[in-house]
Amino acid sequence: MARRAVVLALALAAVMPLLSGGVDTQQVRLLAAKFNVTCVLVFGDSSVDPGNNNYIATPMKGNFLPYGKDFFRGRPTGRFSNGRLATDFIAEALGYTKAIRPFLHKRLRPVDILHGVSFASAASGYDELTANLSNVLPLSQQLEYFREYKMRLRQIAGARKAENIIKNAVAVLSMGTNDFLQNYYLEPIRPKQYTLEEYQNYLASCMFDDVKTMHSLGITRLVVVGVPALGCMPLVKTLMNQATCVEKYNNLSSSFNSKLNVKLDIARKELGMKVGYVDAYGTVRDAVNNPEKYGLIETSKGCCGTGTVEYGDTCKGMSTCANASKYIFWDAVHPTERMYEIIAGEAVDCLRKQLMG
CB atoms within 10 A of CB 340: 26
Q: Which of 45, 209, 334, 349 does the annotation list as catalytic?
A: 334
Active-site residue flag, 349: no
Give the model confidence (pLDDT) of 245-278 as tens digits.
Answer: 999 999 999 999 999 999 999 999 999 999 999 9
Q: What is the pLDDT of residue 157?
A: 97
Active-site residue flag, 286: no
Q: Is the pLDDT of residue 49 over 70?
A: yes
Residue 163's closest CA among 150, 149, 174? 150
Q: What is the C-alpha separation between 97 and 120, in angstroms, rounded?
A: 17
Give the model confidence (pLDDT) of 166-178 as tens digits.
Answer: 999 999 999 999 9
Q: What is the pLDDT of residue 27?
A: 58
Q: What is the C-alpha separation between 108 and 88, in angstroms, rounded?
A: 16
| CA-based max dimension of the chain | 60
Q: What is the C-alpha separation between 126 and 220, in angstroms, rounded?
A: 20
CB atoms within 10 A of CB 154: 16
Residue 336's closest CA among 348, 351, 320? 320
Active-site residue flag, 331: yes
Q: Which of 46, 118, 174, 254 does the annotation list as catalytic?
A: 46
**H/E run at residue 275:** strand 274-278
- Which is it for the CA torsion 70, 74, 79, 81, positive or negative? positive
**Average pLDDT over the chain, rounded to whole?**
92
Q: Which of 45, 49, 112, 331 does the annotation list as catalytic?
A: 331
Q: What is the C-alpha separation between 132 and 164, in angstroms, rounded?
A: 34
